[in-house]
Amino acid sequence: MDTILAIDQGTTGTTALLMDRELNRIAEASIDFEQHFPQPGWVEHDLEEIWSTVIQTIGEVTKHQDIRKLAAIGITNQRETLCFWDRKTTEPLARALVWQDRRTAAMCEALRSKGLEPFFQDNTGLLLDPYFSGTKAAWALKNWPVLAQAQQQGRLAAGTIDSYLIARLSGGAVHVTEPSNASRTLCFHLTRHEFDDDLCRALGVPREIWPEVRPSTGTFALTRGVPGIPDGVPITGVLGDQQAALLGQACTREGMAKCTYGTGAFMLMNTGKAPVKSRHRLLTTIAWKMPREGTVYALEGSAFIAGAAVQWLRDGLRLIRDSAEIESLAESVTDSDGVVFVPALTGLGAPYWDPQATGMLTGLTRGTQAGHIARAVLEGIAFQNADILAAMQKDLGKPLASLNVDGGAAANNLLMQFQSDVLHVKLRRPKYLETTSLGAVFAAGLGAGLWSDLSEIEKTWKKDRDFDPSMSDQQRTEAMSRWSRAIGRVTMK
């Protein structure tokens, strides 16, 4: 009984991973699902499509495995995406509003104009932005009558993806979540660790729609009626995807940090037992809460677009046929020849928080080639992170010695080297890049008692390679100046 099933439910697809206590990868399967864009700036997911990918990937990884060895299940998920379902039947009542969705920008601005942003930042660690779940809930209850009707009948359940999946996996037995996800809703109090009446009231969201909050490790529910899995398997670890990556990178001590390159780029630093309030528009969030270790906080900066920019080159501009081709295309030129790309395709995240910002390519000439654009896209991803780390270091009052990197785009050596250069920080890349899934394995294993504490997690982390800064101070200054001019044009009001 030493096998763990990790379900990694992401923005564009679902991965199921079977791993044992020695971190031997037994089986893995991934399936993408459709993104729905009903209007510009609106992004939705069909929850039945997501559930279908969960069932399919579970079926793939368990069909050749002795399922009797399955000790526990871990879940990690896209965080702020908000789901609505029937408490009694677990049937979805509407499409999920995805974290990238910007439809509540005007609502956030109205709340900000009332002077409420300091109230939300002080109590939740978050800023007023459509990114977070709270304004999505307020919008949906106002604009989708089926939800208001379900709420009046006491049938409405709302929550992040983890809560929905636990409900489905348990046959509707529970409506629960944990702090790393709850702390992304704008309705959860950062230090009291509960959904708060005053926060909910300010948004016009009924507190009773939210789930019960339990520690991140421990038994959440037992499986019931899930194809491919026996009834009674415990779900023992749940973390939002970026906090799972922090755990999967073994950043278990204060001052350790990671950056995950997925659809967006997410930089988190473990700040220990006390929340650090940002003076530079970063987020204060909960990393995890565990029965033995208590609550651990993190400082976070998020760029909404990272790998999604490469997908845009592939699917939108059709400059590449496969995402992996961008590295060779970018290497076909020695530099970007002055081309700068600002990846504000769904607004800008930290430290700007401009939901109305749009992307920009600047510096184009008759001599611009596809390779220059490809290189500029990779550099734009790195430049965003340089802004985030600069703000993070100012909040902490000290420089960061090194940064662990993971996610699909971390396999791109050109991007990682440029990232190290503009950050002027050593990057450490692990052998297993999908550390989000690994974090779910660790959380479930801790919850099931397969590992006794976080010190055992640290011992398992293995490095692939380091990237050391090689750019001169003058080159770095010139590069950041080009970026500053470009981002200044995007953020001009």
pLDDT tens-digit profile, the chain (493 residues): 789 999 999 988 999 999 988 888 899 999 999 989 999 889 999 999 999 999 999 999 988 777 778 999 999 999 999 999 999 999 999 999 999 899 999 999 999 999 999 999 999 999 998 989 999 999 999 999 999 999 999 999 999 999 999 999 999 999 999 999 999 999 999 999 999 999 999 999 999 999 999 999 999 999 999 988 999 999 999 999 999 999 999 999 888 889 989 888 989 989 889 898 888 889 999 999 999 889 999 999 888 899 899 999 999 999 999 888 999 999 999 999 999 999 999 888 888 888 788 999 999 999 999 999 999 999 999 999 999 988 888 888 877 777 899 888 899 999 999 999 999 989 999 988 888 999 999 999 999 999 988 888 888 888 889 999 999 999 999 999 999 999 988 876 5
Distance separating alpha carbons of residues 487 and 493, to the nearest angstrom? 12
Beta partners for residue 266, in sequence order: 260, 302
3-state secondary structure of 240: strand
- Parallel, antiparallel or unpaired: strands 70-77 and 234-240: parallel
- How confident is the model at residue 492, as a pLDDT? 67
Quick one: which of 199, 175, 350, 82 has its CA closest to 190? 199
Radius of gyration of the chain (CA): 22
Residues in Cβ contact with 156 at an 8 Å cutoff, skipping those fewer than 6 apart: 84, 86, 87, 93, 147, 150, 209
Distance separating alpha carbons of residues 219 and 238, to the nearest angstrom? 10
* Alpha carbon distance, N-terminus to C-terminus of the chain: 59
- Parallel, antiparallel or unpaired: strands 257-261 and 402-406: parallel
DSSP H/E element including 289 = strand 283-290
- How confident is the model at residue 400, as a pLDDT? 78
- How confident is the model at residue 456, as a pLDDT? 86
| Residue 467: burial class (beta carbons within 10 Å; 0-12, 13-18, 19+) | buried
- How confident is the model at residue 69, as a pLDDT? 82
| Residue positions counted in the chain | 493
Question: Domain 3-240 carries which CATH code?
Answer: 3.30.420.40
